[in-house]
Each structure stands twice: as structure tokens, then as C-alpha cells.
A and B are shown apart, each in its own frame.
Chain A
Amino acid sequence: MKLVASCKISNQGVFLNSKLVPNTKSTETNWKKELYTKTGVTYPKFYKMDALAKLAFLSYSYLDKALKTESYADNDIALLFANAASSKTTDLKYIESYKEKGSPSPSLFVYTLPNILTGELSILNKWYGENVFFIEEKFDPEFYLEQINFYFSKGAKGVLAGWVESNDTNEECFLFFVENNGNELTIEELTNLYKS
């Protein structure tokens, strides 16, 4: 498989293909909103997304600049995502909505599943391919490469893969897009890409 592009975002900035995009680092708590205004993309649905979906959306908005997804048919691209904390941040907010505020919030409940973010990316791009969300202890490049190969053997032409995390201490999203042709992306390369 061939790595087409990668993007990692956190409040440390946007790293597109391992290079820091200027002016994307932020110490503000609303760094995600700041980043949204910098993407140049207009997508009002951004505001109602939860942390995980926002992270995935923002990261994809930058990654998209380096991709040519229009050349794919609408079920050619598979989505492979995972994290360790599932939808914990939103889960706790949701519990508070009925415990503290006395009325369970439907708009929060919608996001108490980590795979809603794959739904958001599909809706954004009108993709109808396979999509899955795993719960893993940590980012495991070997696991990702294995799964991606399954998708390719099934006929997918491209895979958008990501590790999207939002927990007490950390918010980050690492996305990468691979095609079914060309040089082998190795476990080591993928590990380094994630760490960089």
C-alpha cells in the first residue's frame, strides 16, 4: 500500500505530512474552533459535533488538501478508526445532562458512540463504503496495516484510517490515507509518522 498523505492535529498544531502548518498551534481551550476558522472550510454542522467528530473533521479538512478523493467511486473508500477512551468525554457530559440538569440531552446522546465520527465523515463526503471503529489500548500500527489489507483484498481502492482520542489529558487526531498500489508502508514508517 502507498501512503498518500497524513495529518496529525492537537493543540500543538497541525502537522500535514509531518510538517507544521504555520499559525496552527494554540494554547486556547477553544483551539478547535480557532482551527475551524483557519481551515477555510464552511460547514455549520461542525458546531454541533462532539470533540471526537470535530477532531476528525478538522484533521480531514487539512488532509483533504493533499488528496484527490473525487477520483474514487462512492464506495471505493473504507474508513478504519480506533481509540482507547471510546466516547468518554461526551458520555460524561451526557450523564451530567440528566443528573445535573434534569433532562437527558438528545443532541449529546447522539455522540455517545465513537463511530458517529465515521458517519460524519461519510456524510460530509457522500462515501458509502465500509466503516468500523475499534477500541484499542493504544495506537497499534501493525493492527491498522492488517485491517487495511483486509479492505484492499475486498476491493477498496483507498482507506482513510485514524486514531482519534479525547480524554481527560489529551485531545488528538492522527489521520492517514493509503491507496492500494505502490510501495509498502511499513509498521516502522507508520509508527514514526504517528510520533512525529
Chain B
Amino acid sequence: MKIYITGYGLISSIGMNADESLVSLKNHSTGIEDARLETMKGYKVGAIHATNEELKEKFDIKTNCSRTALLGIIAAKQAFNGHPLSNEIRTGLISGTSVGGMDVSEVEYKNYLDGENHNPDNYKHHSSGVSSEQMAAEIGATDFVNTISTACSSAANALMMGARMINNGLLDRVVVGGTDALTKFTISGFKSLMIFDEEWCRPFDESRKGLNLGEGAGYVVLESEKSISLSKQKPVAMLSGWSNASDSFHQTASSQDGHGAQLSMQEALNVAGLKPEDIDYINAHGTATPNNDLSESQAIKKIFKSRIPPFSSTKAYTGHTLAASGGIEAVFAILAIQNGYIYPNLNFRNAIEETGLIPQLKFSENNKVKHVLSNSFGFGGNNSTVIISAV
């Protein structure tokens, strides 16, 4: 069964919607800069420069929610804009998140530990599932709501799960993707693992030191053929391949040879019925950690051999948005296909010695982009790949 994509929405440090994001992408304009918020001072992050109140006003959202839920609502609403609700179209929402409502909880808990007044009611935002429920309620996609928590592969897994539910006749239409807000929790955590870069991250560069965190949300609408005949929405792309595999090496590090990454890329190609040479662009996971980029490069070489397509990591633009990354990057893939774009890998100077791979260096137009492969690899060795194709 064909899985059509009929809508997309995203928000990140490079734009509050697709159009704004494209301007940044074209101009090589990163959203990563020195954190402005006191709680994050000293780090370079891809933050969305608006308070929750400002975002709620701008996007006319009244729900009392965490920042993670708010970003998700903004992106999901964009994706679902103009889609009619109908009793005949079973519509669900599957969302990936790693921090859930932690942005609220960590403030409340701090107040609690400091002996100040705190409102226990606010902990109701904490659960990862709550953000999904709120998003689903906001857009009316309530026939099935689920939440995936597999770290940085969560959104990609949501896309995969959505495709399977449609293929198996359990849903006709589903909004899928991920959302994560910046929190002190995650910033301090990645700092403790010593995988930050104090400077702008350099994916796939020999001198790369680590990642910059970001926040955002990205969602797409998947529909079956039956759903489209009823909703009358125009497909913008297809979700043609998906896969998940276990790297089975370490809780947070990737195996040297990228075994799990190889498995997930190969299986996604199998699902799509494509050969490696059919891929026109790879949007890599490319977090700029010494470990991931080497591991992922080895896996890319194994799969694509001497015919490696243009590839880049867009995380030097947005920062690593954790559970949202697979959703945001799915939208980038759709835009690449629609417009013939290939995005550059910012901050690159020298290839990794062991691999010699050189990513796309400049934003490029007028390309034939029919199939895009997008990787999202999460802690726990959870490796996922999706393939998005032209209609």
C-alpha cells in the first residue's frame, strides 16, 4: 500500500515554519548561537527565540501546556492545516519525545527542593504522553494517540509506526513526528557525557568535538489512498521506506563499524524496493560527535560503496533537536524533493581521516531529487531510517 504525505509542519531555531526554514537553509544561516537564557548560559544552542507566551499569542494557542507540547502543537497544526475531519477517515497521532514536560517539571522541582512555593498541579504536564494527547486534541486527530520514547530516533519511529498502522488497515490517516524543548536537564546531561562542542558543531569534520543541542518540532501527515479520495488532499511526497534495527553495542555510543546503522539503511531500502544508487540525497544523523559521525560514515560506505550520493547533516543549522530531529528532517526531505534542493553540511573543513568522505558543501538548487534517505540514531542503540520519495 502506498503511504502518501499530504502535509508537513515544523518549528526550530532556523524558522517558525517551512518557508522561514528554507530561507535560512538557502542562506547557510545557522540557528545555533550562544544561549540567551540564564539557565543555559555558556552553551551554544539552537533555541527558538520566543517565550511560551509569545508563541501562544503568535499561533493563537490557548492550551495550558509545557513548551514541548506547545512546539508540537504549533508544528502539528501547520501540518494538519486544511485537512478535513471526517467520521470516515480514522485519524491518529503518534508523537516522539524525550523530555516531555520536563521544562515545567524541572522548574517546579527546583522550587520544591529550594523550599519555595511550588504547584504540584504542574507535574501533570510531565508525562511524555500528555504532550501527545494535547496535540491530538488540538487538531482533532483523536482516533488513536500514542507516544514513542526512543531518544533521538523517536520521530522516525513514529513515521514508521504510522505507516504500519495504515498498511494494516488500523488507521486511514496519521500525524507523525516528534517534539522536544530545550531543558536544563538535557543540557547538563550532555555536558556530563562530555559530548558538547563549545563552538559551532562540525558534522563529519575531522576536528569535530561534539554536538550543539537544539529544540523544535516536526510533523507530517500520512494518508492512505482511501483517505486521500475522501480528504481530497494533494500528496506532496511519499513515505516509501522505513526501518529500525539495534546496534547492540553500548547504551549511548555507536559501534565502530556502524552495524546497526547499516542494518537500518539496508532494510529501509528493501522496504522501499530501492537500490542504493536510487538515493539522491542522504540527510544524515550527523550529530558531530566523534563517535556518531565515524560510525555513520562507515555504515554509509558499506551500503553505498563507491557511489555515495550527496549527503549532509542539517544539525549544524538547527542543533540536535533530539526526539524532534527525525520529524524536522523528514520535512527537510520533503522540501528537498519538492524544490530540487540539496542542503549543505555547515562548518566542514576536512574529511574524517579514516573515511575521506566529503559532504555537500554548498546549498544547491535544480537537482533531480526523487528519493531522500534520512537517518535518526537514538541512545540505546536504536537506529532508524526513513526514505521519502517524490509522488
Contact = CB atoms under 8 A, between A and B. Distances in A.
Q: Do chains A and B touch in the complex (CB under 8 A)?
A: yes
Interface of A: 75, 79, 84-86, 88, 91-92, 94-96, 98-100, 103-106, 109-120, 122-123, 125-137, 146, 149-150, 153-154
B382 A115 contact: yes
Contacts, number: 142
A105 B110 CA distance: 17
Given A115-B380, A132-B148, A137-B129, 16 more contacts: A75-B263, A86-B127, A104-B192, A105-B192, A106-B194, A114-B149, A115-B149, A119-B379, A122-B246, A126-B248, A128-B263, A130-B243, A130-B246, A135-B128, A135-B146, A136-B147
24 contacts: A75-B246, A79-B246, A85-B127, A86-B100, A86-B149, A91-B102, A100-B113, A106-B193, A110-B251, A113-B150, A115-B150, A118-B246, A119-B248, A122-B246, A123-B249, A123-B250, A127-B248, A132-B148, A132-B157, A132-B382, A134-B148, A135-B147, A135-B149, A149-B168
A130 B247 CA distance: 10
Contacts of B259: 128
Interface stretch (B183-191, B299-307, B355-363): B183-191
B214 interface: no
A127 B245 CA distance: 9
B98 interface: yes
A131 B379 CA distance: 12
Contacts of B164: 150, 154
B151 A113 contact: yes
Interface residues of B, number: 48
A136 B150 contact: no
Contacts of B379: 110, 113, 115-116, 119
B170 A118 contact: no
A21 to B, nearest CB: 28
A119 B380 contact: yes
A134 B149 CA distance: 6
A79 to B, nearest CB: 7
A114 B277 CA distance: 36
Contacts of B193: 106, 109-110
B306 to A, nearest CB: 26
A113 B149 contact: yes
Contacts of A112: 185, 189
A105 B189 CA distance: 7
B144 to A, nearest CB: 10
Contact of A136 (B113, B129, B190, B250): B129
